[in-house]
Amino acid sequence: MLKKIAIIGILMAILVPSMMGYVKKSRDMSAASSSKYSSFDDEDFEDYDF
């Protein structure tokens, strides 16, 4: 029983940081994608005189 808990703990210690890296990368890619689209929106409104 204790061996199973130790093995699960070791696996979690390895997997959680790697998963957090993937989450951070996906957030960065999402932010970059959003900023790219918002820059296109800004360019569309430059032609109009308000």
Residue 38 is predicted with a pLDDT of: 57
CA 16/CA 24 separation, integer angstroms: 12
Residue 8 is predicted with a pLDDT of: 94
Helix (H, G, I), strand (E, B) or coil at 13: helix
Q: Read off φ and ψ for residue 6, nearest 5 degrees.
A: -65, -40
Distances (CA, A) of 43 to 13, 26, 46, 50: 46, 26, 5, 14
Residue 46 is predicted with a pLDDT of: 58
Q: Which residues does the chain have with pLDDT short of 50?
A: none
Residue 2 is predicted with a pLDDT of: 93
Give the predicted TM-score (pTM) of the model. Answer: 0.42
Residue 9 is predicted with a pLDDT of: 94
Q: Read off φ and ψ for residue 25, nearest 5 degrees.
A: -65, -40
The structure tokens listed for 15 are: 């997997």
